[in-house]
Structure 1
Amino acid sequence: MGNYGPKHPERVRRRKDLKAGERVSEEQDSGAEAGMRQACTQTMWCLTLLLPLLLIINDVASQWTVWLPRDISAMTNTCVVIPCTFMYPSGVRPYRGVHGVWYYGQPYPQLFPPVVAKSRTDVVHESYKGRTKLLGDLQQRNCTLLINSVGPEHSGRYYFRADLGGANMYTFPDFAELKVLEQPSIDVPEEIVSDESLELTCYAPDNCPDLTPEIQWMYTDYLPDPEFSSDYVEEGNTAVVSSTLTFTPRPVHNGQLLGCRVYYPNTTLVYERLVTLDIKYAPRSVWVNVSSEVMEGNSVTLHCEVDSNPAPRISWKFGDQELMWDTESNLSLTLNDVTPAEEGVYTCIGDNGFGVMNTSLYLAVKYPPREPIVNNSMTVLEGTSLALHCSTQGSPAPTLTWLKDGELVGMITADELSVLELEGITPQGDGQYRCLAENEHGRASSSLNITVEYAPVLLEESKCTVVREGVQCVCMATGNPEPTIEFYLPDLNITINETDGRYNFYTHTDGQTSTGMIKLREKGERVNNNGPAVNVHCSISNVYGRESILLELQQEKKYLMAVIVGTIGGVAVIAFIIAAVRYVGHNNKKDNGYPRQDVVLENPALYYSAAKKDKQNLRKKVLKTELLGSKFNSILEETTGEDGDFHPPGSLEGMERRELNYAALEFGGARPREGASGRGDDGGSYAEIKAK
């Protein structure tokens, strides 16, 4: 529940015995006057001092005067004693004794103020019936008043009127102001600062003779090392009991409740007062978003909250630039359409006069890679070393990949800069180089072309070949710039670079590759078993070099291979067709109800059908072919031509669009079938096939 302040074992309670007090006062006055007179009898000059003093004393004694507390308090439902002493002029003699009246609110009877107490009768205002009593002896000039069971409605000014009979009545302008409290008062400093010692004092009035208040502090369990002390103060004929709580507050105590409880032992009277601690402290924490990310072009809000008392001046800063501020406990900064330039450290600062504190966060702006910056396209000489640079920006940092003609070259780099080293570049290094930048938000690329120039190089396809009508020489070379090709016949001292009556000269350029070809047609220039009758040199050249090579002769084998392969292929095709014809004819006969008859052939592969009435079905089921009869011989002849070119065996090139009108196949030694028709004059059997 709390802690009690130490009780006063010897609480002095002042009994307002005005008669005794008056007697003491008179004795003091008499003693002082007698002493002064005794001292002054020894000297004449004392007479000059004594006369004015006596006049002053007599003048005071001749005035209407009252002594009562200006302020007095009591707890509601308790009692209060208002001490009072009055004086009247010495020349006034009370008529039938001294009487008195207490008024509430104002001193003028003609305004009919409420009567609180009256010595002559018990007629009082209804709110005071049975509550008031004159404790003092008016004859002894003691006008002390007791009010029981006071309530808030009894708070106010109280005036005393002395009535000595006849015209000797006087209402004193001085008053006692009563405050009826429903809860005790707590003396709280105007400003409570954290980490500085604090004293809180709880007060309770002690102006009721029959009730003694006790003070207890509540909700002190969470306080650090609290200390308690009690005191009793009597001043101006009123008494106050107090209890002081001492501790050192911390920021955590801000907003906490503290309570003071006043109770009266052996009664049910309990009064409480709660206060909320308002602890002033410097900012002790500044909370902001954790470091956050935002996509370029989007919006983001940065929050800041400062724990301090009083509320601080909060400001947001980006670098040294203050973006916004306000006097609040929290402040939010909104950034719209964010750009990469806004990436960086943002600081929230809290300042409330008691201290300063700040916290920062890092705002990362994410964006896809920018278009990479690469070298310009270039032309270099073979053997040159190059360094290709690729730089870009992106967040997160992109991966950079170098591609040559679409294929990976070099290493993949996770950075904003990549360098591709090309040591001793070769002609194969010629091509397009592309730098590809990628991150999770997108990709971008840039490319450059590298052209490698080099001296001409003879290709292995360069040679002389025997063909049907002579010798054909081919010279192929690559180089950059593209090489120039010439043929030189040293035996004839002839340079061939154009077509004349004896030689066909042909040249062709495809990029960096040049091809030259001549054909030696005259019989005197044909080959013998050991080589050509005429030596052929090929000369290749460009700005970087020249080279001349004797071309070797190679026997052409493609003509013979074409004849052999063509023959085998033709026979296989014919055999396939015949087998197909035989199969179809057999099925047609079976379908038309003819009994199956086995036919014995000397060559089982040559199986056919000669049934004329099956011609229509035969046309639909026999696969169309273009290799029959005399066409086979023409195929063999076409495999070799004047230029030595040939078609692969079984090739249908040039014949696919020809329509077969008639084919006659003749086979010897086969036995005729019963009912077979179509026998020729020479006794051979054949099948007649027509196809549209």
Structure 2
Amino acid sequence: MAADSKGLLIAMLMISTWTAYAAKYRVIPKSTAVLLGGTITMKCAYDELTPADTVVWLGPPNFKLIATGKAVNPRFQRYAITGDHSKGEFNLAIREARLRDEGNYKCSTFGVDEAEGLAELTVVEPVPAPPDIDGGDGPVIHGHSILLSCVSYGGHPLPRLEWYNGTRLVQSIRPSEQWQMEDMVAKLSIRRVSRWENGVNYTCKADQGFPDLVKPVASSRVLDIQYPPEVFIPRPSIFVKEGDLANLTCLVDGNPTSTVTWRKLDHHHSLAGAERGNHLILHKVSRYDAGVYQCTADNGIPPVDVGTVTLKVRYPPWIDPSMKQTITVQYDNDGFSLDCLAEGNPKPHIRWRRKNTNLYWDNPLRFNRVDYGVEGTYECVATNEGFPEVSKETKIDVIGLPHLLGQDLAEVLTVQSGGTARLGCRIVADPLPGRISWIWRSKQGIENTLHDGLNGISINDKITEQEMSSALTVKHVDIGRAGTYICQASNIFGPVKRNIQLEVEESRTSLFIIIIATTASALALMATMAFGCVLKKRRVTRKQRKPTVHGVSASRPMPPVPKYIHATSTIDSGVEDLELHELDRALKPHPPSRGRDDKEWKPCPLDVTSAILHSRTSTSGWRGQHPAFDYV
């Protein structure tokens, strides 16, 4: 003992002396556990160890010196220092672990914090057997209390005892540090038990807290709680077709098993069926068997309980025959409805469907707005459980103003010049109009009635029971066929019509030729006016010219004036006279000519706007033949 204390003192003195050399932990020992008789290694490693540094292991009891460096105290024969010491690894290995090996261990060297390197080792001895449960092993009347005791014997460390109700934790008891006994006891008190505790599995589990080394062990107790009967009726109301068998069911929850008896309320004769515990069987029931039946359950634990079943005898549905076979409704009527009256037991489900379809509507049959699509034959269908459906037909006849189909289609049709225009109208009505007529309104507002076979027009009419259609075809369309095409029809309730605007586009080739011709005409006119301006200027210059001096020859004579600038011009004379008049006002006086080589030409103002205006006026007759073009 003195030698151990001396070694510890020397180690501590060495550590305090060499604190200037601060080695650092690379691996700090961690608390761990080992199974009794097993092997455990507690790891410890340092960085920056010097050859003069010494690593020591201290352990229980009271931090005895176990090893210095690689050397192990001879008293610890089952201990060894392992690892690569050149890398600072000094691991403590313990084999054949015993309970006395349990405690706190410390791996230390010079300069490290004394609070570090401390680890606890726990030696686990498994609990030898599952815990014992005392109490709750016999029947218990509901409302009484039960005390369950759970005892766990042996094991190290002592286990934690836990009570579970099924999978729900209800109590947990841990051993205290002062616990000196070799077993653990956990008591569970259940006050005023009820039917809900019957058959419940209460489990006591002993857990030592080291699931990787030893699994928890457990014992269970299933409670037997006796309680009075409680009746449950799965089908409080039963429908049975007359002549069939009726099975009335009364389910009972009670412990012990109950005896069930049946009787019919407000009835004095005996039951025609046979009593079979929870079931009452009635053969070939009639409508007179309908009523309320009561079952009574008794298991000897008061109070008894009762339940009732209502038996209803069914018969097939029946539709009121006074419903009309045909109903006339006016087109565009709002809020129209049709009601179907039917009886049956149980109360029949009444629906409407369109004949020969699977489309169903609730009763009454409602239409927010009546159109011709509503017209048809409808069936009132009444069904109830156990019987074939019953139906009755009613025809809805819609009459009123004609209605144009496809009103959401485009009302403007554009066709290439030379192409074919196809226009159509579809009308539903009751009664049907006599015919569909077509009217063409030109862009000048002139209206003409169109007929089949005239001017490249064909009209094809089709008539069905409630619909008529008309297809208008216009071949070889030109600009003159543009305008508004009107299809119209009427019956005794009034007329209806549709306007379709037909736009005709010139082909690209024709448009290109017209543009070239217009541009060429404008350029020719501008060239002609420029030439006239030059002639006018030379005439003014000749009047102002003096005799030639210094041997300069006289100017060449002026050419004759073209006919188109004389006052006797034909269709365009007025415009050209106006242009020459404007030129006269724009000219300014010029000095005398200085000879041919000294001549200086002056700019002649040209009114381009007048030229363009002239071009428009001269082509007005051509433009009237092609109204699809509009020039600006």
Smaller-chain TM-score bracket: 0.3 to 0.5
Normalising by structure 1, we get a TM-score of 0.30
- TM-score (ref. length: structure 2): 0.33
Larger Rg: 1
